[in-house]
Chains A and B, each alone.
Chain A
Amino acid sequence: MDEYTVIDGRGTMTVFETYIKTTPERLWDAIVDPEMRAKYSFGVQTESDYTNGSSYKSSVPGVIDIAEGENLKVDPPRRLVQSFTALWSEDVKSAGSSRVTWEIEPVGSSCRLRVIHDQLPAGANSELYGGWMMILSGLKTLLETGELLDTPGSLRYAQANA
């Protein structure tokens, strides 16, 4: 874990963690498969070929750009490290590039999924990382029940894709 950024003795980072009853392979597929990903990402679509050094872009086509970045390290089905530049508002754009690490660790018949968002500027807008808990909650529900969350927030862009 030493490679996470440390600024003033502490990293400017946030951690989101959940246990999901699934296999590492199914969990990895749910992260990189564009159709699955959109289902628990408020309808936001993410396009990438997920090779080392390739780029990705998340958007609701024709409606709003969400984020873009590079796949810094792709190690299926365990670890995905991405640079992350938010695009949905001028304020979040001004935060520049940060880093998002997806870590999958098998635990018994489940997986521990950790999303670590670090290299954030000090005093970063909480919008930058505030969506991860909803995304992880939706991902857990989708993999464990095959169903989608239907809370208003989780359907934000669903109609844009319909």
Chain B
Amino acid sequence: MDAAFKALSDPTRRSLLDELFARDGQTLTELEERLPMTRFGVMKHLKVLEEAGLVTTQRRGREKFHYLNSVPIQLIHDRWVSKYAEPLAATISGIKRELEEQ
């Protein structure tokens, strides 16, 4: 989980994840075209994301496709976020329901 937090701490890496969220399964060349970065820079950040398990790859022929793997983010959510945020979210959705039913 440390590796995932570390990988997420960088804004460029978060924008790479956003790119894959918008369009899953991109090649290095496609990602490089969308970001104001060198190919080497994109490769370096993708490697950190891969090591943290946030990006997985599939090879097809000569092409390597990058996929967003959201499981580590879910693990962070289940361990760190739900405990703090969900009672609040439940309260807010309860208020919303009450107001809408009036």
Q: Which residues of A contact B (CB under 8 A)?
A: 1-2, 4, 6, 9-11, 13-19, 114, 132-134, 136-138, 140-141, 149, 151-152, 154
Q: Which residues of B contact A (CB under 8 A)?
A: 24-26, 53, 56, 58-61, 63, 65, 67, 69-75, 77-78, 82, 86, 90
**Residue of chain B at shortest CB distance from A2:** B60
Report whether B74 and A136 are in contact in the complex, using a CB–CB cutoff of 8 Å: yes
**Residue of chain B at shortest CB distance from A136:** B71
- Number of A-B residue pairs at CB separation under 8 A: 63
What residues on B are CB-neighbors of A6 within 8 Å? 60
Report whether B82 and A17 are in contact in the complex, using a CB–CB cutoff of 8 Å: no
Shortest Cβ distance from A149 into chain B, in angstroms?
6
**Residue of chain A at shortest CB distance from B83:** A151
Report whether A17 and B69 are in contact in the complex, using a CB–CB cutoff of 8 Å: yes
What residues on A are CB-neighbors of B74 within 8 Å? 133-134, 136-137
What residues on B are CB-neighbors of A114 within 8 Å? 56
**Residue of chain A at shortest CB distance from B58:** A1
**New A-B pairs, 16, CB < 8 Å, besides A2-B60, A137-B75:** A2-B61, A10-B25, A11-B60, A14-B24, A15-B67, A16-B70, A17-B71, A132-B71, A133-B70, A137-B71, A137-B74, A140-B75, A149-B78, A151-B86, A152-B82, A152-B86
